Amino acid sequence: MGYCACFMDTINYSEIISKHPWIVKKNQDCILSPDSDGLLCGLFMTSQLGWKVRGFYDGKVLLIEKGFKMNDCVFLDMEIFRNDVKSVGQHMIAYDTEKLPQNWSNFDNCISANNIRGFDYKHKFKEKYPLGTIHLLLAIIGSIENIKLKKSSVGPLFYTDGTFKNLFNYPENCLSWLYFLDAEKSKSPLYNLFFDNSYSVSELMKELREIFNSIKLIADGNRGGDKIKISNNKGELINFDINSKKINSGTKDQAIKFLKFLSNKTDWDYVPNKWTWENLEPTTFVKGSGLKPGKARYNDLISKNPLSLAIISSLSIEYTLVK
């Protein structure tokens, strides 16, 4: 039911692929979270498996290409609470795996890092997955294909989702997860990133410095050069022309600059005809946050059938409800 009932020492990639064969299937359609992790996932899957990006979802607004439905696509870098919708994510979503809600099967079509390992808020929150969705995708696809990471890819792959911070703030937990993912084995693409001694500490710092400087340049000195903003803090649609049904040219151009920068670093090609920027249909949802995790509050939320959720801290669950 979307989770492992016992804490696993090592991931079973064959089991994941057998249960979710779509994850390694070529020419799938996908929806991305519009931040650096989601964009890296999109760049990797379009380049490696020929997937096509049909839109973006940030937890408040969904932009999807006209003619496509949610269950036509794989959502990358988010967990969707619908059993007919495929998704891949790295957030903590279970409160207590020993007492799961009756409708937990809504996550049956979701590949969730914490669920795979049987980790939940009640027992294992401090040991939750500390990497990005892109690292999980690399590990899964790399279990059946030979993927060698370009040396310069260390910059964006350490930067995304604050991975570099977690590596040094929580080394014990990071190593636990890397061993769980079999990253110490040379056949894994994560080996090149985390276990191959190719970089000195100073070289890593220089790579990260380049990432920060490049993101500033892409955004003309402002913040946000590493994401596509499709909604504001109030959950309102922004940077989108509702009449022509397309992402505004300035926002699109900035996103493409960032994608091309990532492409140069990783050698994952940015293929324009695999990315949808127009003919998009917007849907706005009700975004909630600040709900303190607790059994009753969590179960009440789940009973409302949220589209997505994430337990982001001991003080807050973020969630999305359909209007």
CA 51/CA 53 separation, integer angstroms: 7
What does the pLDDT read at residue 140? 98
Residue entry with tokens 């990005």: 132
Say if residue 5's pLDDT is above 50.
Answer: no
Q: What is the pLDDT of residue 166?
A: 97
List, as one string, the DSSP characters of 143-154: TTS-----GGGH
Q: Mean pLDDT score of the chain, rounded to an integer?
A: 95
The one-letter amino acid code at 270 reads Y
Q: Report how far residue 137's alpha carbon sits from residue 44's, in angstroms, rounded to the nearest whole number.
A: 9
| Contacts with 15 (C-beta within 8 Å, 6 or more apart), sequence order | none
State the pLDDT at residue 197. 83
CA dihedral 205, 133, 32, 207 (to 10 degrees): 10
Mean per-residue pLDDT, 33-38: 98
Whole-angstrom Cα distance, residue 274 to residue 262? 16
Which pLDDT tens digit goes with each residue over 110-155? 999 999 999 999 999 999 999 999 999 999 999 999 998 999 999 9
Q: What is the pLDDT of residue 305?
A: 96
Mean pLDDT of 214-238: 94
Cβ proximity of 252 and 277 under 8 Å: yes
**Mean pLDDT throughout 242-256?**
97
Ranges of each domain in the chain: 13-321
Residue reference for tokens 């207590």: 96
Specify whether the CB–CB gap between 202 and 195 falls below 8 A. no
Name residues whose C-beta falls within 8 Å of residue 89's C-beta, 6 or more positions apart in sequence: 75, 77, 78, 79, 110, 111, 112, 113, 133, 310
